Structure 1
């Protein structure tokens, strides 16, 4: 149960990070063709960081789960 909650939280964080990256352009507070305003730069750095950390955490979790399945499979043959 805790693993499902943790994975769900990581997926939500990943989606929130992607939204932060897309928000300046989707909402429209970044003028088209203009230099990036401070809020856009902040959203890009923060959203990208949150998305990257959560994605790496999901990959590590998946790798650990696969490693555990492989370990159980080796012990099942013996």
Structure 2
């Protein structure tokens, strides 16, 4: 149960970061071709950082899970 909650939180962190990166353009407070507003730069840096942390944590969790499954598979053979 705790693992599902943790993975859900990481997915939300990743998606929230992606939203922050996309929001200035989707919502429309950053016009195409204009110099980036301070809010846009902030959203890009913070959102990119959050998305990166969420992605790295999800990949690390998945790799650890695969390692555990592989270890269980080799122990079952003996």
Shift of 1:33: 1.1
TM-score (norm 1): 0.98
Who is 1:10 aligned against? 10
Count of matched residue positions in the alignment of Structure 1 and Structure 2: 78
Who is 1:35 aligned against? 35
CA distance in 2, matches of 1:27, 1:64: 38
Map 1:1-78 → 2, pairs under 5 A:
1-78=1-78
The runs of 5 or more residues in structure 1 that have no matched partner are none
TM-score (norm 2): 0.98
SS at match of 2:34: coil
Which has the higher mean CA deviation after the structures are superposed, 26-35 or 56-65? 26-35
CA distance in 2, matches of 1:73, 1:64: 14
| Ranges of 4+ aligned residues in structure 1 off by more than 6 Å | none
The runs of 5 or more residues in structure 2 that have no matched partner are none
TM-align CA RMSD: 0.5
